[in-house]
Amino acid sequence: MQSYLDFEKPVADLEGKIAELKSLASTDQAVSIEEEVNRLSARAEEALADIYKKLTPWQKTQVARHPQRPHFSDYVKSLITEWVPLAGDRKFGEDAALLAGFGRFEGQSVAILGQEKGSNTEERLRHNFGMARPEGYRKAVRLMDMADRFNIPVVAFVDTAGAYPGIGAEERGQAEAIARSTEKCLELGVPNLAIIIGEGGSGGAIAIATANRVLMMENAIYSVISPEAGASILWRDAAKAQDAANNMKITASDLLGFGVIDGIISEPVGGAHRHHDQVMDATRRAIGKFLSDYSGKSRLELREQRREKFLSIGTNLA
Amino acid sequence: MNWINNVVRPKIRSFLKQRDDSAENLWVKCPESGEMVFYRDLEANQWVVPNSGYHMKIKSADRLASFFDDGSYETVALPEVPVDPLKFRDQKRYVDRLRDSRTKTGMDDAVMVTKGRLYGRPVTVGVQDFDFMGGSLGMAAGSAVITGLETAERDKTPFVLFVASGGARMQEGILSLMQMPRTTVAVLRLREAGLPFIVVFTNPTTGGVTASYAMLGDVHLAEPGALICFAGPRVIEQTIREKLPKGFQRSEYLYEHGMVDMVVHRHNLRATIGSLTGILTKAEPAPELASQPPVARISMRAAAVAAEGDDDLVTAPPEAAHAE
């Protein structure tokens, strides 16, 4: 069942009418509804295109968090064959918020990591809503180390509100785990790609998003703090999340302008949650292009390109 | 009465405050024990309260003067960074906040970089100052940390960094977050050059600073009782809705949990870092250090660091940033 965001109301109304007509027609064969349905469908499509053409940052935030938006596991299912998930940081535990493993992308060996938010209540709890603990980041480090040794490219799907703020996480060194994961990204002698598929939340995101190429889905957001938390600190009012989102420059096009990301993967009209297949095709092309662009580069070249790219961020802004 | 309270009173207050400063605040209250201490005694004791051992905030200049040989050092010029690229405005414009902080502190931004000698050996030292917008990590502070690391690399000296921060500078948004990988690049390059990087955690160090360069030192020292964390106590309390254990996220707690090597009394930092950097760079032993008994360098403070009510003292002021 399609669920609508509040700003999609005009579309919801039209699609509601269509559904009503269809149910009417199924009970009364005498009524011809085809023409009316076509007319309404066209109008709904138009309305959707109109709305999505001018989404505000706050609306994008809602799209980025849409429960039906493709998550880590959807990407893996569609794009990776022979998926072998690995578990555990070999130090303390396993963290299902950040998944990692090896598989093949169009036949080629790849290492995959990323946060999984889960798509129903049970899954969300199991994956801790995609908020990783130190074990998740240490597992990421372990996996990147392996990928580096076996000379296998790394692809990270980033989707998290942030690293988990809890007693145990602090006790076991959340800050250190994030710092080491970022550091490992910058040491890799193999190509790495990060794709922000939903939310890129602060340190919890950067820990795996420090990559040779960083891409964002068109309606994804990437920020130093969630709009809600930012609002409660800067405006002293969590209800100002909308203002915070609009001020903080968190959309893909803003970040491309700052040189923080290297490219945008277009989403179908109406957002990624409406047409998973199209999103997967676009992502497949982006990963394929990345792998071919970066194949044949030396370990040193790859490392230096990544390091220099990050060092230069922000230095050329007016 | 509201407009009087809101408009007039703060003005009067700030007017009085300035008067207070110039007339010298003679007595300072220890936030932990409540005792009143004559400020000159505090100054002479590097802002450590003599009886309770509470480590108060110390100005960057005072810290540097008591750290380097003869208190003499040279300030390293820092690169210019773009100002307010987000054109950010919350309750106040960011450019106004910046200007106010500069006027109030006399600093350009939160981090300064210096070089001088420690027991006769050259050393590069950075200090992050909590007084400047909560020591928050923006482009200027990030670039300053990078400059410090690069200066040490070029001069082939160890790099000592005193950290203190409320976290990311939110007014710089994503560009603030980018300081985490940027500074990490410079840490790696110093490490690859075979030079030591010593981090000294001071109160408080939180958020994106802890989750990047501060946790990547070869050696981590911490002043007693400092709050050191990723997510602040308040954020955690709001998330889990329960009271936090005493001493949680303080230096001694991080020592117990293997995140810092030593908790060092401010008076012993100079000697400890002198020995460490000398040994790691295989420098000739300095006579003063060789003749010193192995002082209680690991001075675990017995006093309960989590004295109730001191939470407010270590929490970033509203304009200070905070990261998740």
Indicate whether B34 and B89 sit together in one domain. no
Indicate whether A21 and A82 sit together in one domain. no
Is residue A229 assigned to a domain? yes
CATH code: domain of residue B112: 3.90.226.10
Q: Is this prediction's ipTM beyond 0.90? A: yes
Is residue B285 assigned to a domain? yes
Q: How many CB pairs under 8 A join A and B?
A: 185
The token pair that represents B78 in the structure block: 């820092």
Indicate whether B181 and B226 sit together in one domain. yes
Indicate whether A38 and A156 sit together in one domain. no
Is residue B151 assigned to a domain? yes
- Residue numbers of the domain that contains A13: 7-54
Indicate whether B122 and B27 sit together in one domain. no
Q: Write the residue in A165, A206, A250 that is nearest to B181 by C-beta.
A: A206
Indicate whether B146 and B41 sit together in one domain. no
Indicate whether A259 and A139 sit together in one domain. yes
Residues in chain B closer than 8 A to A210 (CB atoms): 181, 184
- At residue A1, the pLDDT reads 62
- CB of B57 closer than 8 Å to CB of B123: no
Indicate whether B49 and B193 sit together in one domain. no
Indicate whether A16 and A105 sit together in one domain. no
The token pair that represents A134 in the structure block: 């130190």
> Model confidence over A284-316: pLDDT tens digits?
999 999 999 999 999 999 999 999 999 999 998
Is residue B209 assigned to a domain? yes
* Range from A20-24, A122-126, A247-251 carrying the lowest mean pLDDT: A20-24
**How would residue A318 be classed by pLDDT, with cut points 50, 70 and 90?**
low
Is residue B63 assigned to a domain? no
- The overall average pLDDT reported for chain A is 94
Mark yes or no for CB contact B173/A248 under 8 Å: yes
> Model confidence over A208-243: pLDDT tens digits?
999 999 999 999 999 999 898 888 888 888 788 898
Cβ-in-10-Å burial (0-12, 13-18, 19+) of B25 comes to exposed
- At residue B132, the pLDDT reads 96
A window 94-133, beta carbon within 8 A of B: none
Indicate whether B252 and B145 sit together in one domain. yes
Q: Write the residue in B81, B177, B248 that is nearest to A202 by C-beta.
A: B177
Indicate whether A172 and A269 sit together in one domain. yes
Cβ-in-10-Å burial (0-12, 13-18, 19+) of A13 comes to middle
Mark yes or no for CB contact B181/A318 under 8 Å: no
Number of domains in chain B: 2
Indicate whether A91 and A185 sit together in one domain. yes
Disruptive mutation site among B93, B149, B180 for chain A (greatest number of A CBs within 10 Å): B180
Is residue A164 assigned to a domain? yes
- At residue B294, the pLDDT reads 54
Indicate whether A297 and A205 sit together in one domain. yes
Is residue B15 assigned to a domain? yes
Is residue B62 assigned to a domain? no
Number of domains in chain A: 2
Is residue A1 assigned to a domain? no
- Which one-letter amino acid corresponds to residue B179? Q
Is residue A187 assigned to a domain? yes
pTM of the model: 0.89
Is residue A2 assigned to a domain? no
Indicate whether B52 and B95 sit together in one domain. no
Indicate whether B126 and B185 sit together in one domain. yes
Is the Cβ of A179 closer than 8 Å to some Cβ of chain B? Answer: yes
Question: Does residue B204 have a cis peptide bond before it, meaning omega lies within 30 degrees of 0?
Answer: yes
A window 28-67, beta carbon within 8 A of B: none
Is residue A317 assigned to a domain? no
The token pair that represents A203 in the structure block: 């340190």
Residues in chain A closer than 8 A to B212 (CB atoms): 178-179, 182, 203
Mark yes or no for CB contact A167/B173 under 8 Å: no
Is residue A316 assigned to a domain? no
Is the Cβ of A300 closer than 8 Å to some Cβ of chain B? Answer: no
> Model confidence over A65-91: pLDDT tens digits?
999 999 999 999 999 999 999 999 999
- At residue A33, the pLDDT reads 80
Indicate whether B209 and B146 sit together in one domain. yes
Indicate whether B274 and B135 sit together in one domain. yes
- At residue B317, the pLDDT reads 38
Is residue B217 assigned to a domain? yes
Indicate whether A22 and A75 sit together in one domain. no
Last residue of a domain, one of A17, A35, A54: A54
Indicate whether B126 and B275 sit together in one domain. yes
Indicate whether A204 and A255 sit together in one domain. yes
- At residue B212, the pLDDT reads 97
Residues in chain B closer than 8 A to A165 (CB atoms): 230-231, 235-236, 239, 324
- Residue numbers of the domain that contains B8: 1-56
Cβ-in-10-Å burial (0-12, 13-18, 19+) of B264 comes to buried
Indicate whether B299 and B271 sit together in one domain. yes
The token pair that represents B253 in the structure block: 């707690």
> Model confidence over A25-34: pLDDT tens digits?
877 776 678 8
- At residue B316, the pLDDT reads 37
CATH code: domain of residue A163: 3.90.226.10
Low-confidence ranges of chain B (pLDDT < 50): 1-8, 10, 15-23, 296-324
